[in-house]
Amino acid sequence: MSYVIIFILLWPFKMLMKPFHQGKGRNLVIQTAKIGDFVNITPLLKHLKKSDVLISKTVLPLAGRDTTIESIFLIEEHKKSLFSKIRLAFRLLNRYDNVYLLQPNSINAFYAAFCNAKHKAFLETYVRKWYHRIFFATANVVCQHGKYDLALENYLKLADPALTADSYHSHATLPLWIPKTHYPVLDKTGEIKIGISISAGNRAKTIPREVWQQIIQNLSNLDCQFIVFGPANEQPYLDALLEILSEEEKSRVVSLIGQMPLEDVPFALGQLDAYIASDSGNAYIADSQKTPIICFTGPCCKEEQRPLGKVLFIEPENFEPASFVFETRTRFSLTPEQLFALNEHKLKAIHEFITDSRGQERPYG
């Protein structure tokens, strides 16, 4: 509600400055969520060709290596004080002809509404607050988004209703960033290289260690190497897994936790035969590199957001999705052990998927 008050107070200044707006065809895309959400807006960025973005600092290593992006504004740098929020609002005010609001929380909707752009396209979600009406009244286009609508496709429809999820392939960096550091574990060998995300950041989407143990044991008759990706703070999850693995199983696990900057991850995941994760940022990065993915949906709704390439979905039994892109939860009717449980049928499907994915050619594009 505070942003509504600020918007009303600044309205006279917005109108006073409107005659000085100069059309230069610039685009502003607003999406301040994390890694997976950023990868899912890249088809829109490709379509627009050149855009400025208001994003989270978390994805700066990717956005800073994307030729579809010109200027970058980081939301964290402008939330520290009222003065910094207003300063950014006036920086954006007359700068754009087109504004695309993809994550319509209060602060983002305020910035989008305050712009004097000639064309504004806003995504309206199932969690819109009643007092956001004043912001949405400034939009030329409002795209209704439901829990079972594909978010990536609706992002595209903000620019052109004729576009679909098949219109553009996602990317993580453009062109693909080639690391300056050599990671020997990624060198081509006779082994099947399988990347895994040991955690999803959100505990509710983190696959239990016992499930990882089952997967490793299920693939024991294949020459597999499991490469663990993640930031340094995920080391305790790996330590917990190693506690229950046999010595032989441990020998097949290699850790890159805390050893790889985010900008190097897309190239690394593109060198793998497969990737296994829950609904995490790395799953979407792997998908952008056309790496086959085994995705544990857990509590999440795959109809709303999911990898779109070659993917095997492992879904919980007798459970309706309860966590959504714009309405996340941390508590559910089932425990993580139940949400990510494996049975004979699922283990067989995983084994066949990994066997089938080995050594496939996947040209990047």
> pLDDT for 118-129, tens place per residue?
999 999 999 999
pLDDT of 288 above 80: yes
Residue type, 346: K
pLDDT recorded at residue 361: 53
365: helix, strand or coil? coil
Q: What is the mean pLDDT of residues 301-328?
A: 95
pLDDT recorded at residue 364: 46
pLDDT of 365 above 50: no
CATH 3.40.50.2000 domain span(s) along the chain? 2-157, 189-357
CATH fit for domain 2-157, picks 3.40.50.300, 3.40.1170.60, 3.40.50.2000, 3.55.30.10? 3.40.50.2000
Residues 6+ apart with CB under 8 A from 203: 330, 336
d(CA 257, CA 237): 10
Residue type, 64: G
CATH fit for domain 189-357, picks 3.30.450.20, 3.40.50.1820, 3.40.50.2000, 3.30.70.100? 3.40.50.2000
pLDDT of 80 above 90: no
Residues 6+ apart with CB under 8 A from 171: 39, 42, 46, 66, 266, 288
pLDDT of 201 above 90: no
Q: What is the mean pLDDT of residues 18-24?
A: 88
With 0-12 / 13-18 / 19 or more C-beta atoms within 10 angstroms meaning exposed / middle / buried, residue 22 is: exposed
pLDDT recorded at residue 360: 58
With 0-12 / 13-18 / 19 or more C-beta atoms within 10 angstroms meaning exposed / middle / buried, residue 248 is: exposed
Q: What is the mean pLDDT of residues 319-342?
A: 93
Choice between 364 and 271, residue whose per-residue pLDDT is larger? 271
pLDDT recorded at residue 8: 97
Q: Which two tokens stand for residue 99?
A: 């504004």
- Confidence tier at 203 by pLDDT (50, 70, 90): confident
Could you check whether the bond before residue 175 is cis, i.e. omega within 30 degrees of 0?
yes
pLDDT recorded at residue 200: 84
pLDDT recorded at residue 189: 85
pLDDT of 359 above 60: no
pLDDT of 362 above 60: no
d(CA 70, CA 63): 9
Q: Which two tokens stand for residue 232?
A: 């340094």
pLDDT in tens, 94-117: 999 999 999 999 999 999 999 999
pLDDT of 242 above 90: yes
d(CA 317, CA 73): 42
For the chain, report the end-to-end CA distance as a whole number of angstroms. 43
Residues 6+ apart with CB under 8 A from 348: none
Instruction: Assess contact for 111 and 54: CB atoms under 8 A.
Output: yes
- Confidence tier at 188 by pLDDT (50, 70, 90): confident
Average pLDDT over the chain, rounded to an integer = 95
pLDDT of 176 above 70: yes
d(CA 328, CA 319): 16
Dihedral angle, C-alpha 15, 93, 112, 45, nearest 10 °: 140
d(CA 347, CA 144): 38
Measured CA angle at 146 (ends 140, 152), to 5 deg: 75
Instruction: Assess contact for 28 and 53: CB atoms under 8 A.
Output: yes
Q: What is the mean pLDDT of residues 148-168?
A: 98
Q: What is the mean pLDDT of residues 7-36?
A: 94
Strands of the chain, DSSP E: 27-30, 51-55, 69-74, 98-101, 119-124, 141-144, 192-197, 224-229, 253-255, 274-278, 293-296, 311-314
